Amino acid sequence: MTAVGAFGLSVQDQALESDVRLGLSAVEQALVEATKSDVPFITVGAQHLLQAGGKRFRPLLAILAAQFGDANAPGVVPASVVVELTHLATLYHDDVMDEASMRRGAVSANARWDNSVAILTGDFLFSRASQILADLGPEAVRLQSQAFERLVTGQILETAGPGAEDDPVRHYLDVLSGKTGSLIAVSCHLGALLAGADEYVCDILTQYGERIGIAFQLADDVLDIASDSHESGKTPGTDLREGVPTLPVLLLRASEPDPSVPGDLRLRELTAGPIEDDELHAEALRLLRAHPALAQAREETLRWSEEARALLRPLPDCSAKTALEGLCDAVALRTM
C-alpha cells in the first residue's frame, strides 16, 4: 500500500497507482508547456506558482474519475490541465484580493511584482485553459463555464459577506460550495465524461467531488485551529489572527453564550475581530481548541465526507472507487 499525492490517499492496486502516477506526470509536463509564452517575462510569471508546487488535487480526481471509463482516453490529461490552470489563475487573483505576501512557501506574485502583473498573469492562465478546453468539445466547454461562474459567484458572496437576514454558517457553506466545490466537482465530471463513462456515473462523481471538496476545505478550517505548526506545516490560527471567520468561529457565534463553558464569554470577545497581539492570539487558540464549537466543526466536516462516501455506493466495486473512499477517510484523519 503506497500513498499517492499529499492527501494520505492509499492505492492498493499497483496498476491503478501506475495509471495515476503516469497521468499526474503527464499533467505536470503539460502544465509546464501551457504556461510558456513567447514573452519570457510572462513565462516567469505564469510558472511562478507552478514551480512553488501544489497538491494537484483536481487533476488527481479527474484521473481517478476517468478510471470508470477509458482512463487512457486522449481528453483526460488536457481536462486535468484545464482545471488546474483555472485553479492556479484564481490563486493569483486571490492573493491580490487578500493582499497576501506568501503563497505555497514562496513570495506571492503580487508581492514579487505588483497587483497588475498578478491579475494579468491570472488572466493569461485563464486564456491558456480556454484554448485547451476548446479542443475538448462543446459539452466540456459548457461544464467548465458553468463551474467557473459558480466559482466567481462564490468569491463575490465571500467578498460581499452575509446579508442581515442570512445565516452566516449557511452563507459560508455556500461560499465554499462555489469557490471550492464547483471546480473539484467539474474535475470529476470532466474526467469521467472524457473517458466515456455513463451519464449516471458522471453525475455521481460530480456530486461526490463537490462534497469531498467542501469536506477538505472544512478540514483545513479545523486544522488551522487544532494543529501545531509541526503537524500541519502551517502557522496555526492564521485566519483567527486576521479576523477571517471560518467554521469553528461561525459556529461559536451561532451558539448561545454559555457561562458554564470555560472561557466561552472571553473567547467571544477575543474573536470579535482580528487578533494582532501574540499573547491574545495564543489565548484565543487555547480557548477555541477546548470549546465545543471546534468539535461541532469536526462533526460538520465528517458529515460532508460521509455524504461523499455514500454517493459512491451505486458505483461498481473497483480500485478507483476504493481510492475515492480513501479520500473520505483522509478527511477524517486530517481532523483528528
| Domains in the chain, CATH or no CATH each | 14-197 (1.10.600.10), 199-335 (1.10.600.10)
Q: Quote the crossing angle between the two packed helices 247-254 and 199-226, to the nearest 10°.
A: 80
Q: Please return the burial class of 27, using the count of CB atoms within 10 Å of its CB with bins 0-12, 13-18 and 19+.
A: buried
Q: Annotate 63-75 with b (16+ C-beta within 10 A) or e (fewer).
A: bbbbbbbebebeb
H or E segment to which residue 245 belongs: none
pLDDT, one tens digit for every residue, the chain (336 residues): 333 554 555 566 888 999 999 999 999 999 999 999 999 999 998 888 888 878 899 999 999 999 999 999 999 999 999 999 999 999 988 777 776 666 656 777 777 777 888 889 999 999 999 999 999 999 999 999 999 999 999 999 999 999 999 999 999 999 999 999 999 999 999 999 999 999 999 999 999 999 999 999 999 999 999 987 544 445 788 889 989 899 999 999 999 999 999 999 999 999 999 999 999 999 999 999 999 999 999 999 999 999 999 999 999 999 999 999 999 999 888 887
Phi/psi at 9 (5° precision) = -75, 125
Instruction: Indicate the pTM of the whole model.
Output: 0.92
Residue in the structure block whose three cell numbers are 492498493: 12
